[in-house]
Amino acid sequence: MNKQETKTRDKRIRTGSIALRIALGSALYLLLAFVIVDLVVLWIEARPQIAFDPVLDPHGKELAVTLFTVCKEIVTGGRFLLLLQIEGVVILIKLVLDLLRVRAQLKPLDEIAQAAMDLSNIDVSSDDRFAKLETAIDRLSPADEGEVLSTGDAELEGLEGAVNNMIGRMRDAYKQQARFVSDASHELRTPIAVIKGYADMLDRWGKEDESILEESIAAIKTESDNMQHLVEQLLFLARGDSGRTPVEKADFSLTDMMKEACSESAMIDEQHSYRLDAAEDVQAYGDVSLLKQTARILIENAKKYSPEGTEIVLGVKMKDGRPCFSVEDSGIGMDREAQAHIFERFYRADDSRARSSGGTGLGLAIAKWIVDRHGGRFEVVSRKDIGTRISVIL
């Protein structure tokens, strides 16, 4: 019998026993009502016999005898006795049913107790299957993809499958982490090498040559800024991965958030014109400072990957009942292949161009981390040499 059939059978049994219990319960209360009505009727019928004359019967002896006779008649009377007998049978059936129900409810507990007892009786040290399993787990290496846990014991197959699944997931995370560390070190090496190169140049010729002095100072400044930006991005992702970045959600106006982002960008960047295309007061729920950081990352990209003098449009609207914001540029755009990877850490569509513009390939990975924490998604529309629009739907 499969799981579904067992469930249906259990449901039917449960429904049947509930119906039976309701029927018996109702019968019991009905009989109880009959007994009470019967008692009242019998008492009323017997009342005329109960007469008390304090002169003829000063001690109430006559009265006591009459009362006893009346009660005896009521109790031993055929109709009342029959009702009591029926009620007794109904009570008995109900008692048996309740007992069975309690035993059925306690059955799983009994089974758990039995299983625990069986487990405690297993002697792990003398069972060589456990020793084999332990040795096989010890031999596994965290990095070797091809290695799986296998003892060849059919009884351990299920357990091995579960352990292998878990090891697979751990290896994926390990690989991802190792790649992240190696990419991060590689990215840090470049600005350090540049700074060291200029420092050496300064040391040799910079003291006398004014032009070398200025060039070196400018380059060292730019590279240290890039390095600071990279380190901040790495710290954000590392904190995010270890769950140390708090996400404090509240209701806020998405329109106001994008209005502020628009005026800030227009003030900082004079090479592009900024326009806000916003619906009136779109409300959202989320961490406003993290979402504003996302908008800034998108604006930074629009700015970096579109020529001077072009327009950048910031949009806010409701899309399919969800709050949505977007950044659109008329820049270099991307092909489909690149669009599939832009949210990966350290990915740059056009490596040399992005690198020369100071890109590390972490901006959109950070944006994705933030949007994921809000249960939102991205929508990317881009055409090479025409432009890009990236929307966030919350």
Q: Where are the alpha helices (DSSP H) in 47-77?
A: 61-76
Q: Name the segment binding ligand ATP (CB under 6 A); options: 70-78, 86-94, 110-118, 357-365.
A: 357-365
Q: Least distance to Mg ion from the beta carbon of 213, Å?
A: 32
Q: Is 265 in the site for Mg ion (CB under 5 A)?
A: no
* One residue of 216, 265, 326, 360 binding ligand ATP per CB under 6 A: 360
Tokens for 234, please give them: 């790495």
Q: Name the segment binding Mg ion (CB under 5 A); options: 62-70, 176-184, 343-351, 359-367.
A: 359-367
- For ligand ATP (CB under 6 A), the number of binding residues is 24
Binding mask 286-325 for Mg ion (x = CB under 5 A): ---------------x------------------------
288 vs 297 by CB, closer to ligand ATP: 297
- Rounded to the nearest angstrom, the gap between the alpha carbon of residue 247 and the centroid of all alpha carbons in its chain is 15
* One residue of 191, 286, 323, 333 binding ligand ATP per CB under 6 A: 333
Q: Least distance to ligand ATP from the beta carbon of 264, Å?
A: 17
Residue 376: name its binding partner from ligand ATP, Mg ion, none (Cβ under 5 to 8 Å by kind): none
| Integer Cα distance of 342 and 340 in angstroms | 6
Q: What residues numbered 188-247 form the site for ligand ATP, per CB under 6 A? A: 233
Neighbours of 35 (CB within 10 A): 15
Q: Is 354 in the site for ligand ATP (CB under 6 A)?
A: yes
| Integer Cα distance of 87 and 27 in angstroms | 8
* One residue of 359, 371, 374, 392 binding ligand ATP per CB under 6 A: 359
Asked if 214 contacts 222 with a C-beta cutoff of 8 angstroms, the reply is no
Q: Least distance to ligand ATP from the beta carbon of 172, Å?
A: 22
Tokens for 166, please give them: 């878990």
Tokens for 363, please give them: 């901006």
Q: CB-based burial of residue 44 (10 Å sphere; 0-12 exposed, 13-18 middle, 19+ buried)?
A: exposed
| Integer Cα distance of 41 and 54 in angstroms | 27
Asked if 361 contacts 346 with a C-beta cutoff of 8 angstroms, the reply is yes
Q: Is 388 in the site for ligand ATP (CB under 6 A)?
A: yes
Q: Least distance to ligand ATP from the beta carbon of 289, Å?
A: 18
Q: Is 295 in the site for ligand ATP (CB under 6 A)?
A: no
- For Mg ion (CB under 5 A), the number of binding residues is 2
291 vs 349 by CB, closer to ligand ATP: 349
Q: Least distance to Mg ion from the beta carbon of 152, Å?
A: 52
Distances (CA, A) of 221 to 125, 194, 300, 356: 66, 11, 20, 15
Q: Which residues contact 388 (CB under 8 A, 6 or more apart)?
A: 301, 302, 305, 328, 329, 331, 333, 334, 380, 381, 382
Q: Least distance to ligand ATP from the beta carbon of 362, Å?
A: 4
Task: Report the candidate in 256, 249, 200 with the shortest Cα–Cα distance to residue 375.
Answer: 249
Q: Least distance to ligand ATP from the beta carbon of 232, Å?
A: 10
Q: Is 233 in the site for Mg ion (CB under 5 A)?
A: no
Q: Which residues contact 278 (CB under 8 A, 6 or more apart)?
A: 255, 258, 259, 314, 315, 316, 317
The footprint of Mg ion (CB under 5 A) covers 301, 363
The footprint of ligand ATP (CB under 6 A) covers 233, 301-302, 304-305, 329, 331-334, 342, 347-350, 354, 359-365, 388
